[in-house]
Each structure stands twice: as C-alpha cells, then as structure tokens.
C-alpha cells in the first residue's frame, strides 16, 4: 500500500453534480462510472415536493506518488436523461 499524497486536498476528490428538477416528488436513480473501471452500482436519491435541485457526490481517493488523468461519468437510470462527464488530474510529485 502506498502512502497518501500530502496535497491540499489530501488525495480525495469530491466530485459534485448539481441536478435541476421540475419540483415534483419522486426517486432519481443513477450511477457513477469511473475511468479506473469502478462503478458505484445503482444509487437512489428521493426528491421531495418542491425540491428544485439535488447535489450528487462522488468521493474518489487517490494514493501514492504520480500523475493520473481521470474522468467520471454520471449516468441516469431513471428517469432517463443525458449523462454528464468531468475530468480531473491527480498529481502527487
């Protein structure tokens, strides 16, 4: 096991997707797909009446020295919708 990098974000990235809703109650199901081949599995977020947006988090921990180009994709299962993708670089000299 490699030691964690002592960067300002301590080796963990908090990726946040802000999803706008129509304000109706229901359940949003989604999954995060990471470029390292890891999938979150299906996750659920219950939405209350009048809730205009929700924040979906993915915590991704990196360890050791090196540089890694990474990306994560948010895929909606239900209701179906467009996916979103973000990129990040882990850099620990």
Task: Answer for the pair 45, 11: CB distance below 8 angstroms, yes or no.
Answer: no
Which residue's structure tokens are 């908090």? Answer: 14
| Choice between 36 and 7, residue whose per-residue pLDDT is larger | 36
Could you tell me the domains of the chain?
Answer: 12-92 (2.60.40)
Query: Is the pLDDT score of 2 beyond 80?
Result: no
pLDDT for 11 equals 74
Taken in order 48, 44, 74, 76, is the CA torsion positive or negative? Answer: negative
pLDDT digits (tens, 9 = 90+) for 32-71: 999 999 999 999 999 999 999 999 999 988 877 778 888 9
Of 7-11, 24-28, 69-73, where does mean pLDDT reach its minimum? 7-11
């Amino acid at each position: 096991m490699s030691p964690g990098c002592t960067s300002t974000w301590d080796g963990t990235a908090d990726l946040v997707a802000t999803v706008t809703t129509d304000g109706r109650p229901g359940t949003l199901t989604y999954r995060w797909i990471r470029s390292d081949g890891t999938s979150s599995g299906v996750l659920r977020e219950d939405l209350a009446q009048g809730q205009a947006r929700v924040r979906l988090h993915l915590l991704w921990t990196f360890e050791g020295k090196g540089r890694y180009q990474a990306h994560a994709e948010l895929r909606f299962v239900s209701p179906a919708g467009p996916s979103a993708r973000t990129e990040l670089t882990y850099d620990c000299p």
